Structure 1
Amino acid sequence: MTAEDVPVVHALERRLFPADAWPAEMFSAELAQPVCWYWVAEQEGAVVGYAGLMCLRPVGDVQTIAVLPEHEGRGIGSDLLRTLHGKAAELGATEVLLEVRADNPRAQQLYRRFGYEQIHTRPRYYRDGTDALIMRLELAAPEPPAAPTTPTEGGR
């Protein structure tokens, strides 16, 4: 995501999350943070989804993830989530956390497919009083580097 994407993303945000939409300034501020990374998903030149990650090693935190309803079921949300996980792992995170609305079973199902487990509930977290489920994914530990091999002299 770039600064040029913010107006389009903000319009989608207001459409998708009318009760909890971030102000455009928040997206701009997030893009300026050295610990935050954001992506957009495009199809035929139009933004159809977006996602953001904050990472303060060893924890990655999904800040937002959204896909237009008419584009759901095409793997876009999964691709965005994989991108967030990859960046978190690259930055040294060992776990990823997120909040999801208790009344959003479709998103919860996506996260569970990826191995997230609910670890807590935040009562009345959202502006309209809906609870947030706190979910956690333990990232696979990176493979340790191979032991250096010492060449031997001679041989058969």
Structure 2
Amino acid sequence: MSTPAAPGVEGVFLRDMTLEDVPAVNALEQRLFPADAWPLQMFLDELSQTTTRRYLVAETSSGIVGYAGLMCIEPIADVQTIAVVPELEGRGIGSALLTQLIEEARRRRAEDVLLEVRADNPRAQQLYLRFGFEQIHLRRKYYRDGVDALIMRLQLTGPSAAPTTEAGRP
């Protein structure tokens, strides 16, 4: 079943990723992350772990334009991947995908959502900050090309927990 991505994102629908989507998602992965692309088998392995994973695709009438995945082993959820084709960035697709991942983490009773983001990707960093993520650590030379990773966390429980939000708004 697919649902509209977000009220302002016309013509884009989100749905669970299927095995049939993996070739198209892998092609996007290779295009978007040439230095750090996951191999096709990794997507297949991730999709087979339904008790701890959830993967989504964003699609239009012309095909898949984004994807995202979450691993949740209580009490921690981890955003494994999130990507949107550059030609559609800034239209709310990444926000819609991230909203769904955070909602899934809540359903699975996670206390925190963690992620790594490239230090040279300010657009993604701003998205995560709008959702209430905070930087908690730096992993030097984490990516294959030597770029550092910022480790970010969103607390879902406790006194500083973020309320259920979309794009960081209550």
Asked if TM exceeds 0.5, the reply is: yes
What runs of 5+ residues in structure 1 fail to find an aligned partner? 143-156
Q: In structure 1, what is the Cα distance between the partners aligned to 2:65 and 2:130? A: 22
Deviation of the 1:43 alpha carbon = 1.1
List aligned pairs for 1:47-58, cutoff 5 A. Answer: 47-58=64-75
Q: Secondary structure at the match of 2:124?
A: helix
1:133: which partner in 2?
150
Give a deviation string over 1:90-110, Cα, whole Å, max 9, x none: 000011000000000000000
Q: Secondary structure at the match of 1:20?
A: coil
Q: Structure 1 length normalisation: TM-score?
A: 0.88
Runs of 4+ that moved beyond 6 A: none
List aligned pairs for 1:1-156, cutoff 5 A. Answer: 1-33=17-49, 34-140=51-157
Query: Percent identity, aligned pairs only?
Result: 67
Q: In structure 2, what is the Cα distance between the partners aligned to 1:99 and 1:60? A: 12
Q: In structure 2, what is the Cα distance between the partners aligned to 1:96 and 1:57? A: 10
Aligned residues: 142
Instruction: Say which is worse superposed, 128-137 or 40-49, in terms of deviation.
Output: 40-49
Q: Structure 2 length normalisation: TM-score?
A: 0.81
Q: Secondary structure at the match of 2:79?
A: strand
CA RMSD in angstroms comes to: 1.2
Give a deviation string over 1:24-49, Cα, whole Å, max 9, x none: 00000000113111000011151000
What runs of 5+ residues in structure 2 fail to find an aligned partner? 1-16, 162-170
Q: In structure 2, what is the Cα distance between the partners aligned to 1:81 and 1:91? A: 15
Q: Secondary structure at the match of 1:128?
A: coil
Give a deviation string over 1:48-81, Cα, whole Å, max 9, x none: 0000000001111000000000011110000000
